[in-house]
Structure 1
């Protein structure tokens, strides 16, 4: 019996994932002061660099899946693994939002954070659902039909928004079909609290977000087939540019909106990710540049652990109140970094310092061979 060789690993794909998690922490943990505009999500319609981070992580999930699904396994083993992993990622996301399980009461005392008020939706929860749906599709569909399925997911969300939202509310915030679905099925007490009933990780947006995972999977498949060549870089950049142009042409009828995860947003982010991954392949695989390779690969090997650490640590630090209503992380940003560099630069320096602390944690895990796998 002959055993099929395992596909060649691309350092550029691991580096892409590492760079994504680095930028994700920078965006999520801005220090005190007004951050640079490009490091803040667009309020509604529009696009910033910060809006590229989450879809890029989903794209990277698909990249990794293109390697994982080459391993031979029976349907039973595959289904057990994918459902178990999706459930654990979802649970980790839910527990992350419930953490630290206590909260400051109005009188300054501590109180148990009610389970009934904990957010059900969220970043990891959407990753879990997208991973599950994309994995099932990739397992049982050929690449051609997988592309058709991705387009269908995007069109399905568009049709639901257009067909089931009240007149004039398809691309509004509070009365579009997705928001109404979340309010009905999940309830406001389990949704994002900072946007008065709208949840940017709601159920309907999971459909087009899955297309980003599928796109990452298909990109991984063709990269493995095309190899580490200049022609591969050219093809990736050309495809990406075409998708970006398509997204811009669609904006009059389908606006680019990360919080709604519209189809034009999918095209734009997949296009940019194709260009970026092509560029990284060109620099790393074709030219052989090694600057930053070990660092980014280290981050890319353990993205889930590093992300969880970054989210839980900042929440823990903020529990320490230096003065009423001001947690330690905000105080550090105000007292140290804003004094050093007032305004957006100080905010960025604080975020970078915190991100490097999280990278140190990832490095400590990596040296011990510890990788969080679920």
Structure 2
């Protein structure tokens, strides 16, 4: 019967994962790799670089979009209710695997070059927080909340998390240090629990994926979950898309309105930043659904669904492979470029297009290599699931 239904009734009659979700997630992965692997030899375009502290760029919208997509997928995965024990076992097992993969990814390649040759990288200086680690913690926390809370309670929980995080920073940080990179209570908590050796090495000891910032990040997942429920339960997909767009605009306005008191800061994952990114994601997802599910536009969608169906595998490959090839010394002085990727970016792409555009071309080329890996896995039917 579903084959004869109009697309506008699809949300009720066939509550499956929309192609639009895989496109949304695939676009997020594409941009994530593009930002993370900017070509060497020249600065990247400013919008593809994270804001140094306060502010907002396109790069800052990517990580919360993946959290939003994860929550959206969670709403489809939990349609069929299962007993509590297997639900919790699956939830914690998947969270633990994702966390472990993130930790091992930062530890990779487990050895480093020294003047005396190769030496093992000790556990004591391996980063514990990280992108996948935050995904794992948010996934488990959101999974627990949506299991026992109804929609109204989930909204209340989100409000409590956002305002609670603001209050924690303001009242538990040293006076005047709530938004200071090293004085804020979040950094102090990370240093106390983990120590400087287990934190991000490129930001002076501050970790942008610190533990406290996980609290507001959970709201990005919850928002994605509620958006997924709206798509499945709405009486009309057209009306749902319109409502999602209006909510998105409202969230963007709310985030910008709050920012004078709680500045937009991806590295602090401020609550105003959460509202802004949720708004952007609602508008983006609504637009993608309108194009694909309502207007029936299919051309070009496979490019992104290849990434969106296998995001964990493609992301891990993108991080591990660039690290591995940069271990290969190359250049006239045996490693003058620092590694193979450095050489490719400088000796090839900077010659083709010197400057910022050459850096972008290098990043696009590497992103397409990662896409090719995703395409090959898709043809084999291989999906990496935690």
- TM-score (structure 2 length as normaliser): 0.94
**Which residue does the alignment assign to 1:333?**
345
Gaps of 5+ in 2: 1-11
> What is the aligned residue count?
370
Residues in 1 aligned to 2:242 and 2:174: alpha-carbon distance in whole angstroms: 44
- Which whole-Å deviations, capped at 9, do the CAs of 1:309-356 have from their partners, x for residues lacking one? 000000001101112461110111001111111111111110110011
Name the SS of the counterpart of 2:15 in structure 1.
coil
Deviation per residue, 1:111-138 (Å, 9 max, x gap)? 1111111100100000000000001001
Residue pair 1:6, 1:70 contacting (<8 A) in 2 also? no
Give the counterpart of 1:62 among 59, 63, 71.
71
CA distance in 2, matches of 1:259, 1:286: 37
Q: Give the Cα–Cα distance (whole angstroms) in 2 for the partners of residues 47 and 73 of structure 1.
A: 41
Residue 180 (structure 2) aligns with:
172
How many angstroms apart in 1 are the aligned matches of 2:238 and 2:37? Answer: 37
Query: Post-superposition shift, 1:5?
Result: 8.2
Cα deviations by residue, 1:14-41 (Å, 9 ceiling, x for unpaired): 1100110011000000001110000000
2:307 matches 1:299: yes
Q: 1:108 to 1:24 in 2, by over 3 A?
A: farther
- RMSD of aligned alpha carbons: 1.3
* Cα deviation digits, residues 170-207 of structure 1 (max 9, x gap): 01101100000000001100000111111000000000
The question of whether the paired residues in 2 share the 8 Å contact of 1:228 and 1:286 is answered with no
Q: Deviations over 1:220-248 (max 9, x none)?
A: 00011226633222211111001101111
For 2:43, the equivalent position in structure 1 comes to 34
Q: How far apart are 1:8 and its partner, in Å?
A: 2.7
Q: Distance in 1 between matches of 2:316 and 2:189?
A: 28
SS at match of 1:158: helix
- Render the CA deviation track for 1:51-90: whole Å, top value 9, x for unaligned: 0000000000001000011122100000000000000000
1:91 aligns with 2:100: yes
Which of residues 323, 341, 355 in structure 2 aligns to 1:343?
355
Match of 1:357 in 2: 369
| Residue 17 (structure 1) aligned with residue 25 (structure 2) | yes
| Partner secondary structure for residue 89 of structure 1 | helix
